[in-house]
């Protein structure tokens, strides 16, 4: 049968809080060992309030008497220390009188610091060692002084043999101070431990070492190897011993017969007696340990079952997490696929829109071409209608002349002829109206042509706006003038045709309406001529404005180049002046160094003069402390002192070497 026993754990650091006094110490609660009480610890409590009131006067008397004894001891050893100081080369002046005060003061300071550190639980052994060493020096000097003051000045051994009481009397007072200090330290440490809740007898005593050296050494070894209080180390060693005894006899007690069990129970008190375990507790340990082992085994099995369940739960959680990651990955892939499809649809839609835009541009261009062709066809039809109107007008005039000649002879047929003439007049008016409409359509076509030409010119100007020059403006002005000349020529032609029509209209009395229509056409032509003249003037003004703008741009560029040249010249001048200034400063520094070497100035005087030269060579007459720190390699306070002394030196007439070299030479 195999069982699992948990070994008691060692504390790696002192506990933060110890159990209260009067409580039963548990030997093994969770570590697998039995409950064991530490003997001799019950019933010990601090004094009652009445005893404390009685102890206060005693403590005051002890402190006052101790201080008196310490003062007397230091006063008596003062002479011995002074004589030793004179012999050690301190002289007979104040040094020899101050040496004993320093030694005794250092002893008091070290012992006091040790007491304070012990009260704060921060004791350092080397502080006590140093204090004891200085006290030993004082004792040795006192003994030496006592031996030297005896008749015939015998040696130390002879003095001890001749008068040991004399030597003991001189050494007693420093030793008494050490004893008083140790008593106070022991009281402070013990009080601090009691206030912190520690056991009052947990320290290892001389009786522990003499009576049970092996166990005491184990306690001491554990307390120092694994920093822990001695009470905790005692408990650990006791628990470990009980555990080892139980492991040695466990099999016989758990699997043996009744006689074997009785034998184990009889041997347990003797085996555990060195560790302070009583007979009843020792005999109860096997049953308690066996019960605890069973409980631990049940706990272990429960822990294993819980661990298996945790592993299964973790596996299920991992499977769920894997499924979740798989779903997220699938969703991410679907989203990416949908995004690619959407992007492809957008690309296809964009390509289709680009194709439609190209087709629309092509259709628009074709429509413009068709429009231009329609305008040209309209002009051709207008010319044909005009020719027909001219032929019809000639026929009408011939018929009118014939009717005038035959009017006198054909009175009977006058009415019929008049009706026929009216019909002819109506047809002629219709033809002339058609001719006027054709002329109006031709004018509209010409206006549209001019508008298209103007639109094309505007687009060309917009495309070449960043590269606009005076030559382009002149070219546009020439084009505008040519267009104006063409419009003038067209207007003159229209005016001539209108004059011809008016002349023909005056020859026919019955054609008044046609003449009025021709006058209206002439007025429209004159209005078109005025509009063309206005457009020509506008184009000329625009060309002039562009010329002025180009001239202004050239002037601005010239001014910018001039300003740049001036700035470069100014920068070159400043660089030249800066170079001259640096040369002058370097020369002044060399001259100042020579003058300072000749004058054999101290380093501080040299530094002050260098700071003064920095002030004199600065443009504003001011120098920052940071610049002085960097130049001289000193701290801020020293730089401030240098600056103050430099200003004082300048106020006395100090200047650069090239203007006051004689002053430097005689400095």
Most confident region among 23-32, 325-334, 379-388, 506-515 by mean pLDDT: 325-334
pLDDT at residue 3, rounded to an integer: 38
Task: Classify residue 149: in a domain, yes or no.
Answer: yes
Residues 534 and 644 in one domain: no
Residues 557 and 632 in one domain: no
Q: What percent of the chain has pLDDT over 70?
A: 66
Residues 415 and 558 in one domain: yes
Task: Classify residue 487: in a domain, yes or no.
Answer: yes
Residue 442: name the closest of 380, 514, 487, 389 by CA: 380
Count of structural domains, the chain: 3
pLDDT tens for residues 172-220?
A: 777 877 888 888 888 887 787 777 766 555 678 888 899 889 889 999 9
Residues 526 and 389 in one domain: yes
Task: Classify residue 134: in a domain, yes or no.
Answer: yes
Residues 487 and 619 in one domain: no
Is the sign of the CA dihedral 306, 308, 311, 312 positive or negative? Answer: negative
pTM of the model: 0.32
Task: Classify residue 159: in a domain, yes or no.
Answer: yes
Q: Which of 199, 216, 234 is the last residue of a domain?
A: 199
Task: Classify residue 660: in a domain, yes or no.
Answer: yes
Residue 411 belongs to domain spanning: 384-562
Radius of gyration of the chain (CA): 65
pLDDT tens for residues 62-103?
A: 788 878 877 877 777 777 777 777 777 777 788 878 888 888
Residues 622 and 479 in one domain: no
Give CB contacts under 8 A, 24+ apart, made by 114-121.
Answer: 114/181, 114/185, 115/181, 115/184, 115/185, 115/188, 118/185, 118/188, 118/189, 118/192, 119/188, 119/189, 119/192, 121/192, 121/196
pLDDT tens for residues 97-126?
A: 888 888 888 888 888 888 888 888 788 889
pLDDT at residue 2, rounded to an integer: 37
Checking if the pLDDT of 502 tops 60, the result is yes
Residues 483 and 612 in one domain: no
pLDDT at residue 110, rounded to an integer: 86
Residues 517 and 657 in one domain: no
Residues 552 and 655 in one domain: no
pLDDT tens for residues 514-552?
A: 556 666 776 777 787 777 677 777 877 776 787 788 778
Helix (H) or strand (E) segment spanning residue 157:
helix 156-162
Q: Which of 318-327, 332-341, 344-353, 473-482 has the lowest mean pLDDT?
A: 473-482
Residues 411 and 519 in one domain: yes
Distance, in Å, from the CA atom of 536 to the CA atom of 539, rounded to the nearest integer, reads: 5
Residues 551 and 648 in one domain: no
Taking residues 453-470, report their average pLDDT.
62
Residue 72: name the closest of 179, 177, 185 by CA: 177
pLDDT at residue 397, rounded to an integer: 63
Q: Which of 160, 177, 199 is the last residue of a domain?
A: 199
What spatial distance separates the first Cα and last Cα of the chain, rounded to whole Å?
A: 106
Task: Classify residue 223: in a domain, yes or no.
Answer: no
Q: Which of 142, 171, 199 is the last residue of a domain?
A: 199
Is the separation of the CB atoms in 67 and 59 below 8 Å?
no
Taking residues 370-381, report their average pLDDT.
72
pLDDT tens for residues 295-324?
A: 988 999 999 999 999 999 999 999 999 999
Task: Classify residue 596: in a domain, yes or no.
Answer: no
Most confident region among 442-451, 538-547, 639-648 by mean pLDDT: 639-648
Checking if the pLDDT of 604 tops 50, the result is yes
Task: Classify residue 30: in a domain, yes or no.
Answer: no
Print the SS3 string covering 535-546.
Answer: HHHHHHHHHHHH
Residues 533 and 618 in one domain: no
Taking residues 501-524, report their average pLDDT.
61
């Amino acid at each position: 049968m195999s069982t699992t026993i948990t070994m008691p754990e060692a504390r790696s650091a002192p506990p933060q809080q110890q159990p209260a006094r009067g409580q039963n110490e548990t030997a093994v609660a969770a570590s697998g060992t039995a409950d064991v009480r530490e003997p001799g610890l019950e019933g010990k409590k601090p004094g009652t309030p009445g005893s404390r009131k009685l102890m206060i006067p005693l403590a005051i008397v002890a402190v006052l008497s101790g201080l008196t004894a310490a003062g007397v001891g230091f006063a008596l050893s003062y002479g011995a220390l002074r004589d030793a100081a004179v012999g050690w080369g301190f002289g007979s002046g104040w040094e020899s009188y101050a040496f004993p005060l320093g030694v005794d003061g250092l002893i008091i300071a070290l012992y006091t610091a040790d007491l304070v550190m012990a009260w704060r639980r921060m004791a350092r052994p080397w502080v006590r060692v140093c204090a004891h060493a200085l006290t030993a020096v004082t004792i040795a000097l006192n003994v030496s002084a006592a031996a030297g003051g005896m008749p015939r000045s015998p040696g130390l051994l002879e003095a001890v043999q001749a008068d040991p009481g004399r030597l003991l009397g001189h050494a007693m007072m420093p030793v008494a101070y050490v004893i008083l200090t140790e008593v106070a330290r022991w009281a402070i440490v013990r009080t601090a431990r009691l206030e912190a809740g520690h056991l009052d007898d947990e320290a290892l005593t001389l009786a522990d070492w003499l009576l049970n050296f092996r166990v005491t050494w184990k306690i001491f070894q554990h307390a120092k190897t694994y920093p822990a209080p001695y009470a905790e180390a005692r408990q650990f060693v006791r628990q470990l011993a009980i555990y080892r005894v139980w492991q040695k006899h466990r099999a016989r007690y758990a699997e043996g017969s009744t006689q074997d069990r009785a034998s184990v129970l009889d041997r347990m008190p003797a085996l555990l007696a060195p560790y302070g375990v009583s007979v009843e507790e020792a005999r109860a340990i096997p049953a308690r340990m066996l019960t605890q082992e069973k409980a631990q085994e049940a706990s272990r099995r429960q822990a294993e079952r819980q661990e298996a369940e945790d592993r299964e739960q973790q596996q299920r959680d991992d499977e769920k997490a894997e499924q979740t990651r798989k779903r997220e990955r699938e969703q991410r892939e679907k989203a990416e696929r949908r995004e690619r499809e959407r992007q492809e649809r957008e690309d296809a839609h964009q390509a289709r829109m680009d194709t439609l835009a190209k087709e629309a541009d092509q259709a628009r261009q074709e429509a413009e071409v068709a429009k231009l062709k329609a305008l040209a066809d309209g002009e051709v039809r207008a010319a044909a209608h005009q020719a027909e109107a001219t032929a019809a007008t000639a026929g009408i005039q011939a018929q009118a002349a014939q009717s005038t000649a035959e009017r006198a002879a054909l009175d009977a047929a006058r009415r019929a002829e008049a009706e026929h003439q009216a019909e002819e007049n109506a047809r002629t008016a219709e033809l002339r109206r058609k001719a006027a409409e054709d002329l109006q359509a031709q004018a509209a076509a010409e206006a549209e042509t001019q508008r298209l030409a103007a639109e094309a010119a505007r687009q060309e100007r917009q495309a070449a706006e960043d590269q606009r020059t005076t030559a382009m403006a002149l070219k546009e002005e020439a084009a505008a003038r040519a267009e104006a000349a063409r419009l003038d020529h067209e207007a003159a032609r229209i005016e001539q045709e209108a004059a011809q029509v008016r002349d023909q209209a005056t020859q026919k009395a019955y054609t008044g309406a046609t003449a009025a229509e021709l006058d209206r056409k002439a007025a429209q032509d004159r209005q078109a001529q005025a509009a063309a003249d206005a457009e020509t003037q506008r184009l000329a003004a625009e060309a002039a404005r562009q010329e002025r703008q180009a001239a202004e741009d050239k002037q601005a560029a010239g001014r910018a180049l001039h300003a740049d040249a001036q700035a470069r010249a100014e920068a070159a001048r400043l660089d030249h002046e800066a170079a001259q200034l640096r040369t002058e400063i370097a020369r002044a520094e060399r001259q100042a160094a020579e003058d300072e070497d000749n004058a054999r100035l101290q380093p501080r005087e040299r530094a002050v003069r260098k700071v003064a030269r920095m002030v004199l060579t600065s443009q504003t007459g001011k120098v920052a402390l940071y610049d002085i720190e960097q130049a001289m390699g000193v701290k801020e306070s020293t730089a401030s002192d240098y600056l103050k002394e430099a200003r004082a030196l300048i106020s006395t007439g100090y200047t650069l070497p090239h203007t006051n070299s004689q002053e430097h030479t005689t400095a």
